[in-house]
Amino acid sequence: MEEKRVSDSRTLMTDLVLPPDTNSHGTIFGGRVMAYVDKIASITAMRHCRMPVVTASSDSFDFLAPIKLGEAVQLEAFVTWTHHTSMEIFCRIESEDLLTGERRLTGTSYLTFVALGEDGKPALVPTIVPETEEELWHFKTAADRRDTRLKRRKERIDSDRRHGR
């Protein structure tokens, strides 16, 4: 299977935060940001493998600062690592004060997607080739995140079984 560069599937998305997007504090709903992240990560994963994908996990979602009404929210997502049928996607969320141009990091997230073949079953994905220092760092640290994910998943399944669920 062919290799693909991170830059081949890197995705950007920008939107304006309007009143229906905000809570009583005048900041964007966390769930709205999470929906943006899932959407951009899905696009990134499909660009990488050129197949349908499903979200397998959201490892982390760190809200670092609020995004206010009237600001722009910008998301950037890229494939950090691939396994046989899965892809880890990193998403960076920033806000921009459109009047001053000030930008700040407001959140980060790692998600895992699985590619689906025509039969609806997991399908092989191209390996990822990191190019920049940042991409290489995400790539080198991805195996540890995967191990943590698998351990957490096993613990949850075992706990459910112990409790008769």
Indicate the pTM of the whole model. Answer: 0.90
Give pLDDT, residue 4: 96
Per-residue pLDDT of the chain (165 residues; tens, 9 = 90+): 689 999 999 999 999 999 999 999 999 999 999 999 999 999 999 999 999 999 999 988 999 999 999 999 999 999 999 999 999 999 999 999 999 999 999 999 999 999 999 999 999 999 999 999 999 999 999 989 888 888 887 887 888 788 887
Q: Where are the alpha helices (DSSP H) in the chain?
A: 30-49, 133-162
Among the listed residues 85, 83, 8, the one whose alpha carbon sits nearest the alpha carbon of residue 43: 8
Among the listed residues 40, 23, 140, 20, the one whose alpha carbon sits nearest the alpha carbon of residue 80: 140
Give pLDDT, residue 152: 81
Among the listed residues 56, 120, 121, the one whose alpha carbon sits nearest the alpha carbon of residue 82: 56
The pair of three-digit structure tokens given for residue 63, joined into one six-digit string? 């809200």
Q: What is the pLDDT of residues 54-79, one digit of tens each?
A: 999 998 899 999 999 999 999 999 99
Question: Which CATH architecture describes the domain 3-162?
Answer: Roll (3.10)
The pair of three-digit structure tokens given for residue 157, joined into one six-digit string? 């399944």
**How far apart (Å, rounded) are the C-alpha atoms in residues 38 and 102?**
25
Residues forming a β-bridge with 94: 74, 105
